[in-house]
Amino acid sequence: MYGKPEYQAINQLFNQRLQALPFLIACHRGFAHANIIENTVDAMRLARLLGADIMETDTTPTFDNELVMIHPNRERQLFNREINVSEMDLKQLQALYLYNGVGAETTQHVDTLDNFMRNIPQDMLIHFDRNEKHLPLLLAKLDHYPDQLSQIMIKVAPTTENYELLASHPRKYMIIPIVRNADDLARTFTQLDAPINFVGLETVIEKRHQTIMTAAFFQRIFDEHLAPLGNGLNLGASGGKEIELFGAFDDQQSLFGDPMTNGWGRIAQLGVKMINTDWPCELKQMRAKFFE
């Protein structure tokens, strides 16, 4: 069982899913394609239909402190104009139409956190990501949905400020710190006795550091009753260099090569219990073929 014994009632759905499956499939921003737009209710529904156990999503605050389902800095692609969501109030923002995957205007408007929460399938888990600057606001908004506590997982930067906030917050959401180096890992491990509902750990590992990705490394995480999360995502490049999230193992290697050698299968073989992908249907097929 993952997480502390005192939080098992909250973590019940997460643990039940992991008892039934070798690992859980997280769908990055939901499944977005053609007229299905990322981080929308439709993207969430389609992700579940295609086999995802978890939807990873993002929130951004508006000027009037509402939360909308937008990844920070995606305004140019989603609205086909240069705007800043955080400088607009919700009414202004919802007067705009979203643009789809082929760059055409749609009749769709940005989803609010409230609308999103009202439409979560009962058997789906949600990862809330990208909340570096507004974690207190996210917690306050999610507190309005106590009946969905067992579905909500929050990914956080492993900062002292975040850990102090989570320890003092009365509602104990499932928490997944994002660790990028040894200091992040050490700082998180010093907090494990705090009143925080840690259930997992996202490891972001560049290819040049992938030698640390051993069974012993992940066993250390398991020993603390945490479920490791690995990313298969291909997020593009920066300065001519591919952005690497889990060594050399990623979605593209899985789709066009042998996933058991260079992709999802290798991630799963290390004992990772959540794999984040843009291709949930294909990952589900691999999971059924090799692991179930």
Taking only the tens of pLDDT, the chain with its 292 residues reads: 999 999 999 999 999 999 999 999 999 999 999 999 999 999 999 999 999 999 999 999 999 999 999 999 999 999 999 999 999 999 999 999 999 999 999 999 999 999 999 999 999 999 999 999 999 999 999 999 999 999 999 999 999 999 999 999 999 999 999 999 889 999 999 999 999 999 999 999 988 888 888 888 999 999 999 999 999 999 999 888 899 999 999 999 999 999 999 899 999 999 999 999 999 999 999 999 999 9
Per the DSSP assignment, residues forming a β-bridge with 200 are 227
pTM of this prediction?
A: 0.97
> Which of 38, 28, 20 has the alpha carbon at shortest distance from 246?
28
Q: What is the pLDDT of residue 208?
A: 85
Q: What is the pLDDT of residue 207?
A: 87
Q: What is the pLDDT of residue 238?
A: 87
Give Cα 41 distance to the centre of its chain. Answer: 15
H or E element that contains 128: strand 125-129
234-239's contacts with Cβ under 8 Å and 24+ in sequence apart are 234/278
User: What is the β-pairing status of strands 152-156 and 174-179?
Assistant: parallel
Helix 160-168, helix 135-142: angle, nearest 10: 20
Torsion from C-alpha of 160, 161, 167, 169, nearest 10 degrees: -170
H or E element that contains 31: none
Q: What share of the chain is helix, strand, coil (3-state, %, to 5)?
A: 40, 20, 45
CATH of span 5-68+114-290:
3.20.20.190
> Which of 17, 51, 42, 14 has the alpha carbon at shortest distance from 278?
51
Per the DSSP assignment, residues forming a β-bridge with 177 are 156
**In contact, 112 and 39? CB cutoff 8 Å:** no
Domain borders along the chain are 5-68+114-290
206-212's contacts with Cβ under 8 Å and 24+ in sequence apart are 206/244, 206/247, 207/244, 207/247, 207/248, 209/247, 210/246, 210/247, 210/248
Q: Where are the alpha helices (DSSP H) in the chain?
A: 12-20, 41-49, 75-79, 90-93, 113-118, 135-142, 160-168, 182-189, 215-222, 251-256, 259-262, 264-269, 280-290
Go through 156-168 and write b for each residue having 16 or more CB atoms within 10 A of its CB, e for each that does not. Answer: bebeeebbeebee
Q: What is the pLDDT of residue 54?
A: 98
